[in-house]
């Protein structure tokens, strides 16, 4: 199903944003675009003064979305592609290359990276922070590696928690819905006039299994999670303050893996499924101290220590300890606003895998990444023209040293117009999992003629296996972005950005070797390897082949796109936000057939269009009605399990159709402390498929309509 033309025309993204206020009707959009953004240049700036494609999701936006998970909230930001894999897992990316672990997106909570050192991405099913505790989410599209280090290649998401001064007292939120969905949140806090303020919150979520895309099987993606979060803020005076965070979280999910092929001596093949539980535990302690020196230098140092444990039944266990230290300083000298900094991250892990499905090279290791940066915002013409230029050096274990640079020019001819151009280079470091993990990736059937004259052919099972590559290096990207932000009137604003980004040394694959478990394969020039087959528990004489690929930096491509945002306060009680993103990925043609297949798969996995239209209507001072229409064009996902011999071993694809869906929310404020809301989500179409996993051959699930009731009480 293609996104209708009308939706593509009207589905545009919001640029001006709300402050976290009880009633947005008191604000004009001229005030809204002055909202603070801190993630672009690591300092507070008005959105109108930012030389970047930036978007702010406020606490009010989160509450009125009716969403229960962080990825669903991110759907409202332009240029952010979100696809639900199952009840707990999501694929989230900015400007393309979406996947189970999107490796070109940096995600932070209060400046602390959530980038998983094993998977080179974010484990979205592990709640990093309750939605009720979020002050705002800053989404920056485009490279941000100079400020935030390698891996902020396509964008940056910074989740900023609420100050504890505004969280004094207590609050409880309870959500109960169809399909066994539930959410309970509770918070208590204190804010004495002459001492530090604090808050303690806890959240639990639960969801019953959804529906499998294959109706012949039962879904098992039951999901449960819990998170406890503590924060303390202390104003020390003299331009000094101290903040401390501590949190612990746990999530349990189950999925259906089609990973166990069973062969018969005559070449028959069937697959058996396993239902491993995935258990994630995570604990973090973070401290930040900020001070102002007598020389006028603003400084801050943030340090954190985190421990996480991932356990997947009968497949793998991983424990890691992460220590982060980040320092930054800032000083204005004449027309120059200088920011400099130093960061270091050390990760020590211990991995135990269940061979042969998953194997690791080096069970224990320590990975270190260190970076230094300097950035200058130089005012060329006061209130009219500003030049930004910065550079960074990062060094990481297994990747060497890489440089990041950016240059931007911001022109503000009037108070209501901003034009910017930005050029940047950013690296993406290879991860421990990419370099050291070997894994079964799928199975297919290949029709093969017998080498003996007159003998019948047969369908030979071919098992795909990715072997590790300790020499895998960093990916590189460089691009240019042009943007225009316009405040047409106090109630109407718009934002347009266009970009082009060139990628080189992208992670791909190359054929390492092929071998068979039967001597007959020697007639085709394929090695007979009884030992290799025995490693996978297959006896010699079985007509089975192995296709062993090795990761390599052998892909390149170009991404281009445009993002348009409009924010319109139609009347004092009615606001519309519209968004549309268009993108196109063109991968270079490769002579290596394995690399070429990976390039084609990357192209076909990227939707061309996605967008949304949100309506926030204050019916009266105590009633709200919100409508959210959103959609995406379709994609193709490669079949990791392909039992159709007619394909001849060539890559085959699942079609994930485009969709349009609708969310509704009606809220009634009983009094100043109690609010009741009815929320309907995904109300168009009975079921839909949003994504098929690219990580391992997991069973695909469908998103279904749901209804929920939420009660929020403050005391």
Judged on CB neighbours under 10 Å (0-12, 13-18, 19+), 544 is: buried
Dist. CA 568–CA 28, nearest whole Å:
10
Q: Which helix (H) or strand (E) holds 65?
A: helix 59-65
Position 527 scores a pLDDT of 93
Ramachandran region of residue 151, left (φ > 0), alpha (ψ -120 to 50) or beta? Answer: left
- 3-class SS of residue 710: strand
Residue 664 clears pLDDT 50, i.e. is over it: yes
Tell me the mean pLDDT in the region 248-261. Answer: 86
Mean pLDDT (whole number) for 103-127: 88
Structure-block tokens of residue 630: 């959103």
- What's the average model confidence in pLDDT over 240-244? 96
Min mean pLDDT across 15-29, 104-118, 533-547 is at: 15-29
- H/E element holding 611? strand 609-620
Select from 445, 554, 471 the least CA-distant residue to 508: 554
Per-residue pLDDT tens digits for 293-347? 988 999 999 999 999 999 998 888 999 999 999 999 999 999 999 999 999 999 9
Q: Are 611 and 579 in contact (CB under 8 A)?
A: yes
The Cα 678–Cα 624 span in angstroms is 11
Q: How confident is the model at residue 264 (pLDDT cuts 50, 70, 90)?
A: low
Confidence of residue 27 (pLDDT cuts 50, 70, 90): very low
| pLDDT reported for residue 703 | 93
- Considering only CA atoms, which of 151, 138, 149 is closest in space to residue 52? 138
- pLDDT tens-place string over residues 576-632: 999 999 999 999 998 888 899 889 999 999 999 999 999 999 999 999 999 999 999
Per-residue pLDDT tens digits for 206-239:
999 998 888 777 788 899 999 999 999 999 988 8
Q: What is the pLDDT of residues 16-25, one digit of tens each?
A: 333 333 444 4
Average pLDDT over residues 458-468: 85
Cis link prior to 51 (omega < 30° from 0)?
Answer: no
Q: Is the per-residue pLDDT at 649 higher than 90? A: no
Report how far apart, in Å, the C-alpha atoms of 137 and of each of 41, 55, 109, 192, 670 are: 15, 8, 9, 28, 28
Which H or E run contains 7? helix 5-10
Quote the domain boundaries for residue 443.
5-714
Q: Which CATH number does the domain housing residue 628 bear?
A: 2.40.170.20
Q: What confidence score (pLDDT) does residue 452 get?
A: 54
Q: Which residues contact 473 (CB under 8 A, 6 or more apart)?
A: 399, 400, 430, 505, 553
- Distance (Å, whole) CA 635 – CA 149: 31
Nearest to 351 by CA among 397, 312, 308, 316: 316
Structure tokens at 378: 């130089």
- Helix (H) or strand (E) run with residue 304 in it: strand 298-312
Mean pLDDT, to the nearest integer, of 94-108? 92
Give me the helices (H) in 571-689, please. Answer: 593-604
What is the rounded distance in angstroms from the CA atom of residue 655 to the CA atom of residue 604? 10
Residue 532: its H or E element: helix 530-535
pLDDT of 67 higher than 70: yes
Mean pLDDT of the chain: 89
- Mean pLDDT check: name the lowest of 214-223, 454-463, 561-570: 454-463
User: pLDDT band at 6, cuts 50/70/90?
Assistant: very low
Lowest average pLDDT, out of 86-95, 206-215, 646-655, goes to 646-655
Residue 96 Cα distances to 37, 138, 409, 586, 635, angstroms: 24, 18, 25, 11, 12
* Contact predicate 362/436, CB 8 Å: yes
Whether the ω angle into residue 474 lies within 30 degrees of 0, i.e. cis, is no
Q: Which of 103, 118, 112 is nearest to 350 (CA)?
A: 118
Share of the chain above pLDDT 90, in %: 65
Distance, CA of 544 to chain centre: 38
Average of per-residue pLDDT across 119-131:
87
Measured over all CA atoms, what is the biggest interatomic distance in the chain, rounded to whole angstroms? 94
Residue 371 C-alpha from the chain's centroid: 23
Q: Reduce the DSSP state of residue 132 to 3 states and report it.
A: helix
Q: Which range (247-261, 443-457, 486-500) has the least confidence? A: 443-457
- DSSP state string for 20-34: S-S-GGG--HHHHTT
Task: Measure the CA–CA gap between 596 and 99, rounded to whole angstroms.
Answer: 19
Sequence-distant (6+) residues with CB within 8 A of 92 are: 71, 74, 80, 81, 82, 83, 98, 102, 105, 122, 124
Retrieve residue 236's tokens.
């020390």
CA distances from residue 479 to 145, 164, 341, 406, 507 in whole angstroms, order as listed: 12, 40, 24, 10, 18
R_g of the chain, CA atoms, integer Å: 26
Q: 213's torsion region: left (phi>0), alpha (psi -120 to 50) or beta?
A: alpha
Token pair belonging to 91: 């694929």
pLDDT of residue 337: 95
Name the burial class of residue 339, with classes exposed (0-12), middle (13-18) and buried (19+) by CB atoms within 10 angstroms of its CB.
buried
Confidence of residue 116 (pLDDT cuts 50, 70, 90): confident
Q: Place 456 in a pLDDT band, splitting at 50, 70 and 90.
A: low
pLDDT tens, position by position, 160-184 = 999 999 999 999 999 999 988 999 9
DSSP 8-state code for residue 267? S
CA atoms within 13 A on the CB side of 646: 1
Total tally of structural domains belonging to the chain: 1
Pick the more confident residue, 288 or 358. Answer: 288
Read off the tokens for 622: 């105590």
Give pLDDT tens digits for 468-503.
888 889 999 999 999 999 999 989 999 999 999 999
pLDDT band at 76 (very low <50, low <70, confident <90, very high): very high
179 secondary structure, DSSP code: G
């Amino acid at each position: 199903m293609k996104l209708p033309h009308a939706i593509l025309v009207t589905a545009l993204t919001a640029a001006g944003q709300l402050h976290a206020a009880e009633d947005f009707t008191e604000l004009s959009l001229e005030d809204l675009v002055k909202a603070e953004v801190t993630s672009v240049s690591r300092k507070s700036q008005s959105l109108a003064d930012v030389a970047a494609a930036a978007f702010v999701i406020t606490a009010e936006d989160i509450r009125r979305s009716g969403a229960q998970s962080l990825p669903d909230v991110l759907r409202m930001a332009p240029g952010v592609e979100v696809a639900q894999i199952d009840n707990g897992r999501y694929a989230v990316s900015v400007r393309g290359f979406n996947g189970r672990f999107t490796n070109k997106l940096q995600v932070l909570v209060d400046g602390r990276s959530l980038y998983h050192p094993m998977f080179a991405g974010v484990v979205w099913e592990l709640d990093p922070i309750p939605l009720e505790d979020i002050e705002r989410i800053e989404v920056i599209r485009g490279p941000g590696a100079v400020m935030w280090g390698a891996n902020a290649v396509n964008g940056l998401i910074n989740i900023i928690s609420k100050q504890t001064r505004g969280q004094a007292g207590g609050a409880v939120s309870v959500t109960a819905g169809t399909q066994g969905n539930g959410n309970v949140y509770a918070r208590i806090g204190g804010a004495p006039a002459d001492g530090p303020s604090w808050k303690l919150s806890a959240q639990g979520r639960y969801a019953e299994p959804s529906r499998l895309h294959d109706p012949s099987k039962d879904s098992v993606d039951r999901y449960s999670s819990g998170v406890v979060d503590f924060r303390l803020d202390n104003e020390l005076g003299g331009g000094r303050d101290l903040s401390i965070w501590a949190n612990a979280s746990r999530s349990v999910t189950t999925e259906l893996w089609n990973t166990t092929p069973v062969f018969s001596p005559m070449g028959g093949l069937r697959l058996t499924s396993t239902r491993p539980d995935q258990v994630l535990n995570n604990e973090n302690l973070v401290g930040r101290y900020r001070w102002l020196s007598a020389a006028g230098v603003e400084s801050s140092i943030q340090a954190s220590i985190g421990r996480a444990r991932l356990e997947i039944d009968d497949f793998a266990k991983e424990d890691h300890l992460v220590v982060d230290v980040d320092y930054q300083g800032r000083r204005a000298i004449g027309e120059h606003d200088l920011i400099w900094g130093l960061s270091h991250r050390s990760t020590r892990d211990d991995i135990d895998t269940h061979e042969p499905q998953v194997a690791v090279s080096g069970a224990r290791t320590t990975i270190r990444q260190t970076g230094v940066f300097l950035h200058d915002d130089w005012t060329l013409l006061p209130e009219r023209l500003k030049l930004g230029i910065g550079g960074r050096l990062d060094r990481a274990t297994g990747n060497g040293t890489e440089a990041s640079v950016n240059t931007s020019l911001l022109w503000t001819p009037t108070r209501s117009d901003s034009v910017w151009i930005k050029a940047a280079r950013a690296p993406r470091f290879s991860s421990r999992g990419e370099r050291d993990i070997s894994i079964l990736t799928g199975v297919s059937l290949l029709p093969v003629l017998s080498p003996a004259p007159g003998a019948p052919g047969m369908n030979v099972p071919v098992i795909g296996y990715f072997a590790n590559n300790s020499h895998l290096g960093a990916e590189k990207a460089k691009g240019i972005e042009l943007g225009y932000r316009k405040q047409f009137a106090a109630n109407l604003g718009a934002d347009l950005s266009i970009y082009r980004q060139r990628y080189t040394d992208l992670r791909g694959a190359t054929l390492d070797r092929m071998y068979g478990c039967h001597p007959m394969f020697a007639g085709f020039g394929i090695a007979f390897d009884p030992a290799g087959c025995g490693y996978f528990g297959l006896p010699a004489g079985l007509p089975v082949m192995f296709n062993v690929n090795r990761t390599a930096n052998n892909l390149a491509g170009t991404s281009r796109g445009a993002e348009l945002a409009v924010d319109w306060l139609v009347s004092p009680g009615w606001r519309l936000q519209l968004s549309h993103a268009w993108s196109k990925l063109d991968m270079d043609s490769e002579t290596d057939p394995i690399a070429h297949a990976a390039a084609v798969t990357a192209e076909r996995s990227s939707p061309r269009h996605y967008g949304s239209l949100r309506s926030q209507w204050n019916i009266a001072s105590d009633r709200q009605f919100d409508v959210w229409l959103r959609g995406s064009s379709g994609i193709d996902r490669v079949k990791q399990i392909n039992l159709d011999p007619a394909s001849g071993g060539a890559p085959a694809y699942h079609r994930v159709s485009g969709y349009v869906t609708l969310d509704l929310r009606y809220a009634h404020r009983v009094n100043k402390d109690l609010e009741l809301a009815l929320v309907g989500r995904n109300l168009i179409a009975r079921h839909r498929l949003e994504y098929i996993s690219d990580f391992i051959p997991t069973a695909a699930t469908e998103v279904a309509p749901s209804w929920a009731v939420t009660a929020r009480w403050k005391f």
